[in-house]
Structure 1
């Protein structure tokens, strides 16, 4: 039977159900349609279908997360490299279109839609990406085959050259390896030679011909077991000139780079840096670099290999003889390179013969990298990444009995060191680990998802993470502590390239759990409590799902209410018997009989600060003490809320609840509320807001010409103006936002969550409200305000400093409102900062 070709999947992201249905009907039955009503849903679908999506049709204006934010997420996770995105929107302003293209959108279709245009553009984009991937695959396969053939010919040539002097051919292969290692190290140490990867490949290949002149040496001299006579040694020295002459007699253009390099090596690889070599007695840099490198490689391998006239010396002995000058004088920089690669050299030469295999496709990797620079795609980086990761972790293979792993974000390769692979009974390199059938045998699929989530939320300033995970070893569950470090690129716009990790067995800290569907481990309650308080390693508590369930059960026997809260979703989280978090059907603020998020949500603050906070909540005549502490459960951030009712019997003595409530309210008001304007004061910013992370935006506001109001009408008029302006500002923002009198006539607004496209509208609305403020006793007074706004996300203090700078630019230029969108990994992939003046 003929196999039915599966339909290509297209994801349509639009907050309008009508628009989604219309676009789906336009595409007809040719595609399998997936739908998302906002950006957040789109990101979740992307995580699940990243490998089989062919195209995304993405709206710009949407609630929760707009289309531009989806593009930002796709850039952060590098999904934009492999999935084309066509923007669909009624928004035709050039700034939106330009921003979409800057973030990697392939096309932009404006409403109203034309069925034929939509179908044709979708088909063209999908076809273009398919041809691009196919071209890359063809080129990569051809290069790989060419390299394999070249290495096979090199191996054959090696055996032919060494056949007459009774050697196995490994000498030529070793020279190739040592030469390449020396040249690569030299390239790292200095750029004065302007060497390229092509030069390294050519010199390494030409090194195979360094002793081709030995064909002209009589066999009785070539294989003489004892010391050569002076006459015999003179004949042996003639092999360098003989090899050079053989090459010059070839019917090939003498200017051919490979032939010219091979000639230099053949003729001068026995020259020495001090001029004591042969055949021409060249000295210093008069000796071509190619010949100098091969000379050093030749000496090292001759010392460490067995010959008919000598045994093999150890690596250390050979290094000592070379550095003592017993084998002649070499370039000091090359000797430094030899010392640097000493350990790697031993491992490389002890490894099996790999020249005729595809284990180290260096040429393929380099050419693939060049093709990528011209925009030919990013999905074929596997060869380059594999070679890189193998070299990086090889030194761990035979030197430790600890488990190390490496995960590459771009290529999706999970690599283990030798001990780790043997322990888990899996291959050292797992391509696309989430799809690899062998990985689920040792790790549940969500374990790797959690580690990847940690990678994506890391920053260059906080690259480390920790999480405890259950893994199967010999079909038994063991608990491991996963310590990870995210690797970042060295580009101006840093992005994570992978993660290094270590797994530490922590079974001894656990007691086997009973009545559990998994053979998990049960921690002692003492160790959990100590872990909450100690905070030694990470300044916060990181526990597993099983641990969290046990901890919650224990704490509920002591306190009135104990719960996990995800403040980002305003949800309470329960832990089932298997240790898996499950979101409940009601909001976290329902417990306080509220219809919306708490204005003073300490769980949100402690999740942002990764710390602990306390507050009092009042329901009717009852007082509750609430403590929130940042915890991570299997790598996911939550707030652990402990709630206890304060009773008259235990705490209030004879004062009564009313007195305590009045006292607490008055104390907080005196401490954090500005006495003149009634909004938060500078102290509230310093103690509660300054160190909060993941803030969407911050705005600094300053009244124009306020000093002249005080000077002309007096300070009472100025005070009334400040009060009225503060009221106008506060009436324009939501309860979840913070308005602070920062000092004098300066105000600060902290927007915890606000879409990017709403920020300019909100700030302009504030400016308009302030303009409409009037004072009954001073009807002639007119007010205006200058604003500097910064869109993150980021830390409050960082955004405030940037907003303050923009505020004074706006005042100096009389621009009214100036907004800057920070270009960072946490925001978007942009060419630079964007300033917008309203």
Structure 2
């Protein structure tokens, strides 16, 4: 795990800046200005954060609350917290350490001390994690040694009990499998993988007490007498006595589980076990699990007193209480683990597999500990409660194995069901002993028939009614026996439920079959009417002429070609879905609507709207009555509209920019899918303005300006843009430009903001790099003189009235001697080391400047008193004594310092500089190697040097700035023009004009490709005075005319994308002729590339002389070209996206239908077209559709959106009592803004209804 990030949490920006400067060279820095945002970043980047630097006093959530939350989520275990606070009370320190802080640093702090202490905390945490790994490894080895010893002890029992075989090994594996199932199904038992492994290992000692049982009893071939059984039962307590003697073992947890298993594994749920007669969950869960495993293994293996039963017989006996009563919850888990138990029974049968250590049981699916488990648990509880309320006897049967489980017995009249080795024997015994003799033939005769129907025809339900003996009175009572398929999604599944429910009165014999004798023949209808059996094929019983007209089949064709099966008419791709929906909805007994395709006899595909309902006949069989409507034309129109919207969405997704829409009323923001592609996580789309100040991925310093932008949009400003930083999934901040345009309603009230988020990180960082080159001294990396002056002047303007500041001029004494003695290269090394010393001695917020060869200027923003100033100056003087001391053996390096204070000695840069300079001159006069504070009574009237002059004393080694001020100003102005641009094309022309004027070139232009580089167009141009324009002549130009052979024009550009020719006469003839006609002598062209493909270039021509540009000018022009290229490409992409969006909006608004898009889960509106707004003007994006159109507070009971993910398309008629319209509502499952959505197109059918 690569922990390379520090999270700095402080509500004061200056404090964050100081800490950022300390650590940014070694760590990636994330910042938060309150506790809420800190927790958001902690949870997202918990695997990469090395330490948390946390302030205590903060808004929203303070530091104590952050640590409390980290304790609760166990984040504090892996992330050390260093408290940095001004709270120096004992109580606050104690509280911080109690909550888990690794260290506390008091403000104000020494930066480099903080750096060392943070590093120590990180290293200690890494060592701790490493030690934990070593301890865990050692624990594993100790557990392995313990298991070997315990297995050896258990083997003593195996050798004494000749029938045990591999009993111990199987018990361990059975126990592990059963407990894993319990862990996933019943989280209230609080089991974990670690606990399960310990219990499984400890289960080996469950029968250790049998070592004290006499061989005559232990290996007796027949039944035990009561006295012998009493002795045998003592093995539980004897085993506990043996385990008590092992109390010196280090693993107390293992011993505790072994003791509980040994003592309680023969206890039973109803309290009839031994030795203590425990009942229910008072029996430890470990002992309950081992008890089931032990009983199962005893039944399925040969013993001296019996032969082995089959696994199916063993399951039936345990489930029906023949081995004692077990927990219903554990029996459910036991049933679901049947395949694993059976497999292990055969794989590890006695004498079949060699003895081995516990092998890892097959891994069960890894369920998350979420609400799904609670739902499963509550479902089982509801199931049990329902059985008690219904007071019905329920038997669960697996027809494939014969295993049955009496889940609930409502009356002792059904006790005969407990007898029998399988369900057939149990039903036979029950029929003979309890069913009225007059009904036994019905029960016995129909039993095999309906079971055959269930298996072969995929039926779901069958009902019989007969009389059962009431043993208390001797009377016969009427019962209804209903057979139900458990898994309706699997028609070949052999697991069923049989439910016996008492009838209050004898059944009334129907005068005739409840099934309709036929369907009224109504010829030439637009709908088809159908009745079929609810079997696996939907066998057709009757149909009207409308169905035959619709499908193209005759009655004879239906039987001959399709065997009378309606399922064969349904499109093969829709069959599984139709079956699933039938089974899911029809059992509720309410009419349902389905949409699917059928195959007509002539091969046509017809979309069908099927309205159907389930009915039950007197013989217990189920039938489905259907009304079929042809909706092919509606579906086609709906599909065409969906594809149109999807095409536009694809076009929008192809741009690299992030498009967003902000609904001002609901404060909901939706983003295009590029957000997740760009940043690696889903954006927060709810409560934008309210959540951003407290928890967001924005850089804290950018939050106020972003909120100001959104507020201005809310107030009706038509357009705003802003540059901000957003953290990506790796924890790195990415520079982005946000452009937002306001949309207004008819009353000019702002309702939405639509915009784009552009990635300008590369441009911004390159600008910062060039800016740093322009602002910094090339040798030392400090600010140069002009930049330093500008920054100090700005700080002086922002200074508070009472705030103290100071200025120092530091001059090296006799530096010329070093240059003369050691050379200028060594002198440069001295200056570099001195610069590093100054950066360590002063704070991040202070300004350090190299103003000349060996002169430096420092501006201290604020300090407490003069004592601090004196101490800092003396530290500088002392530090110079140790610079390269070993190398400067014959020379003593020293410096002189002049100091002025603000506001005492002046409040502007020039005054403070002159006061400093006089103080420096005074220090030199006093013997050098010292500092002096300006004192106007002593120093006034002396030598005065202007701040713009070169230093008066010392040898000057001038800095070599790589870019001159003209170049720097071009870059700065270009950014300013683009940043403030309202008209993008005018902005590009302005930059071209500026470059032409600043660099004195003849012509600046942009060439863009068409047709993948074959032709080009001159799209922008700016010419100097007297230079002829070529833009009209350079349209649809063919490159190949000017190139020789197979060469391409893009081949002229080097690997950096630059084509530089100081003399065009040196070019091949074709190229020379082209450029000569344009009057060009020298040129510089920079390629425009889109995803690595050459798409044009930015050109700079000199039509007066043969010109050689300096490297600084070339660098600047290349950067300007890259800036223009990026801006131009994004402008083109944005224009295409806007055009596509406008086309989509026009298409939707001009549809003669009410069209809107909603979230299929929340029903929130995501889009509304113009016609929908016209009929429902109060509707707003983000509002639930049932509220916007039906004025309801809950979703509609009948809605075409229900189950849209399953059906993809649905259509139904809907009446809106609020709007008083009838509509045919078409619902389609689509992707909208890269999220699942539902498109609804509602066609007005009110005139037809009236």
Q: Identify whether the pair has TM-score above 0.5, normalized to the shorter chain.
A: no
Higher relative contact order (CA 8 A, sep 6+): 1
What band does the TM-score fall into relative to the shorter chain?
Answer: 0.3 to 0.5
Give the structure-1-normalised TM-score: 0.36
Which has the greater radius of gyration? 2
